[in-house]
Amino acid sequence: MSPLRSDLEIVANWVDRGDRVLDLGCGDGRLLRYLFDRRQATGYGLEIDPDGITQSLANGINVIESDIDEGLSDFDTHAFDQVILTQTLQAVQRPDQLLWEMLRVGRTGIVTFPNFAYYRLRWHLAVKGRMPMSHALSYAWYETPNIHFCTIDDFEALCEQLSIHIIERRVLSHDYKSPRLARWMPNLFGEVALYRICRA
């Protein structure tokens, strides 16, 4: 199995040894496999795509076929230490409800998403007048699975509205590095945002 992307390495470092983990939209199970091997974590992945399910099973992941838009009612309150949602928040029907459910079934949550307020996206829309694409938003407007484009400021305002506490935030560039300008003005210069959250 190839190494994790740098953003997923940050996510993995936020998971404690032995944590019970639920990975929403786990894809091929690469992150969970890493957490099982390196962090001795346990848990499950949820995935709706048949190819992702097949790859997760091949990677030895306990994967459940599930549409996260239908909620997490199959799981008890505080059943997990960490609930992870990577690069999927913008593709769900009700991000607000899913965040609340994540923090019902998990002690803490980890969320990552592309920042639609990134300066290159703003420039593209302002100058060219067309829906922008980037490394983090790589689909054309007519084929994108993304239905709720979100900015760093939007996400933090939603957390405040839902009484969600932000434990930690990392803001990265398209190559998953931490540019100095993104630390100064994250909503303008950050392309990918990573958050650790819990209930306030």
For 147-187, the pLDDT digits (tens) are: 788 999 999 999 999 999 999 999 998 777 777 777 889 98
Sheet holding 63-65, edge to edge: 63-65, 42-47, 20-24, 80-86, 106-114, 192-199, 164-172
Q: How far apart (Å, rounded) are the C-alpha atoms in residues 25 and 39?
A: 20
- Assign 198 to helix, strand or coil: strand
The rounded distance, in Å, linking the Cα atoms of 108 and 198 is 5
| Start-to-end Cα distance in the chain | 38
Give the C-alpha separation, 109 to 26, whole Å.
Answer: 14
Computed over its alpha carbons, how large is the radius of gyration of the chain? 16
CATH number of 6-199: 3.40.50.150
44-103 tens-digit pLDDT: 999 999 999 999 999 999 999 999 999 999 999 999 999 999 999 998 999 999 999 999
Predicted pLDDT of residue 2: 61
CB atoms within 10 A of CB 130: 10
132: tokens are: 């922008």
Query: pTM surpassing 0.85?
Result: yes
Q: How many CA atoms lie within 13 A of 37 on its CB side?
A: 12
Shortest CA distance to 72 belongs to which of 61, 85, 62? 85
Q: Would you list the domain boundaries of the chain?
A: 6-199
